[in-house]
Chain A
Amino acid sequence: MPIQLTSQAYCKMVLHAAKYPHSAVNGLLVAEKMKEKKKESHWEPVLCVDCVPLFHGTLALAPMLEVALTLIDTWCKENNYVIVGYYQANEHTKDSRPNQVAEKVAARISENFSEAAIVMVDNSRLRMSCFEPIVHIYDHHENKWKSREVTFDCFEDWSEAQKITSALLEGRSYESLIDFDNHLDDLRNDWTNPVINKSVLDLC
């Protein structure tokens, strides 16, 4: 069951990377919890409706990651979401393969959702125009993370995603994007990013 990204999920990932262009960033991808009936259709893609930006800078420390995973898991349960993937943008733009941290988090996610995916954001191709998708998607096959070809099918609606992301980048919305690190610095910072969500909705 491959994952598919909505405009909101894609846009917020890119905004997160744009806010911290010289650091590594990461976050979680969430989808709506499927009803029992739908689970049987294996060809149905899993739609990632949203993402939660987590950290920027050093990603390789455990305690806050554990807090974030537990907290967001609880939040998901309340909103009928499930964590289905993990995204990361590396600090050094030449390197877009999933590293140890990515694999560890993805393994953790897989405990709850067997088809967890890793999305690597390619910083080096970050542009205002966003003409092409700047993500690499990895699925777990035979104990290895294999890269999948990124086509427009990986998006619910690529032209909408492109339009919205480009508009928000130009409007510098990334300055107001909140990740979990920002939340820990000041609890009033809301990592669900309601303001940006609304902007996305308004542009749809």
Chain B
Amino acid sequence: MATISEMYDVGWEEMRDKLRKWREDNCRNSEQIVDVGEELISEHASKLGDDVWIIYEQVMIAALDCSRDDLALTCLQELRKQFPDSHRVKRLSGMRLETNTQEKRKISILKAQGKNAEAIRELNEYLEQFVGDQEAWHELSELYINEHDYGKAAFCLEELMMTNPHNHLYCEQYAEVKYTQGGLENLELSRKYFAQALRLNNRNMRALFGLYMSASHIAASPKVSAKVKKDNMKYASWAATQINRAYKLAGRGTKESKCSMKAVEEMLESMQITMS
């Protein structure tokens, strides 16, 4: 996996300055602080001089936000070593202890009891405090989906996509939610996000099938212009080719999956007919 400095072509000074800017502006972008700060600390701690301590504090708080207890502990230990009697460090210690585990346990219990509405409420409250906790956002999106509240599920996934723009799974799930919501506008959005998921990972079969389905439905809609229809038939056709190819590749050598492949070919052909 690429480092921050490799991905964005920045040196350690820029990373340090970025962290300072975020401190000064009181930014709550915990994910980014964790990414940049963790790398800075592990690779360049010796170069940071006295700045390193305030960076440890900044990263620790951000790490707690993102449920990165391992990182939070590392930072805390360094600070304790350097400032053994500090009130400030004691307060940080306290922050770590009173953290999210109790609330998370409560939410799990509510879910196990089937009390979805309450679990949703608790999760929302939790996320106001720990806004960077990915797992919690994802759990909330799933709860909303199970309650058929697709609008709110989409919102959660939007948060996840914003903080994880390279994650093809969130993109693909967002597309699925939009598709389920229905309507031409949502279908077009879902097609775009299925396509985006494919750009991020061209082997995501759900995204490929999703692209095929959404484009096919758009093309079959009486409400679209001839151009939109033609474009979507092109997308669907491309997706169908890719799907067939993926099945051929998977089916090489096994007799059983040939029936799967044949079923897919036929399905795609029959849908082409309904589209045109």
Docked Cα-Cα span, A169 to B179, in Å, equals: 37
Q: Flag whether B250 is at the interface (Cβ < 8 A).
A: yes
Query: Is B148 in contact with A63, judged by CB distance below 8 angstroms?
Result: no
Consensus secondary structure, chain B interface: helix
Q: Which of B241-276 contact A (CB under 8 A)?
A: 246-247, 249-251, 254, 256-257, 259-260, 262-264, 266-267, 270-271
Most chain B beta-carbon contacts within 10 A, residue among A58, A62, A183, A187: A187
Query: Is A187 in contact with B263, judged by CB distance below 8 angstroms?
Result: no
Q: Flag whether B201 is at the interface (Cβ < 8 A).
A: no
Of the residues B112, B176, B264, contact of A63 by C-beta under 8 Å: B176
Q: Flag whether B233 is at the interface (Cβ < 8 A).
A: no
Select from chain B the residue with minimum beta-carbon distance to A65.
Answer: B180
A192-B259, A194-B256 known; A100 vs B267 contact (CB < 8 Å): no
Beta-carbon contacts of B47-74 to A below 8 Å, as 1s and 0s?
A: 0000000000000000000000000000
Q: Flag whether B26 is at the interface (Cβ < 8 A).
A: no
Categorize the interface residue count of chain A.
20 to 34
Select from chain A the residue with minimum beta-carbon distance to B143.
Answer: A58
Q: Flag whether A70 is at the interface (Cβ < 8 A).
A: yes
Beta-carbon contacts of A44-86 to B below 8 Å, as 1s and 0s?
A: 0000000000000110111110110011111100100000000
Docked Cα-Cα span, A94 to B112, in Å, equals: 10
Q: Flag whether A95 is at the interface (Cβ < 8 A).
A: yes
Query: Is B263 in contact with A74, judged by CB distance below 8 angstroms?
Result: yes
Residues of A within 8 A of B213 (CB): 63, 66-67
Of the residues A57, A78, A92, contact of B263 by C-beta under 8 Å: A78
Q: Name A residues whose Cβ lies closer than 8 Å to a Cβ of B.
A: 24, 57-58, 60-64, 66-67, 70-75, 78, 91-92, 94-95, 100, 183-188, 190-192, 194
26 contacts between A and B (CB under 8 A): A60-B146, A60-B148, A61-B145, A61-B180, A62-B176, A62-B182, A63-B180, A63-B190, A63-B210, A63-B213, A63-B214, A67-B209, A67-B213, A71-B263, A72-B263, A73-B267, A74-B264, A74-B270, A75-B260, A75-B263, A78-B262, A184-B209, A187-B205, A188-B251, A188-B257, A190-B254
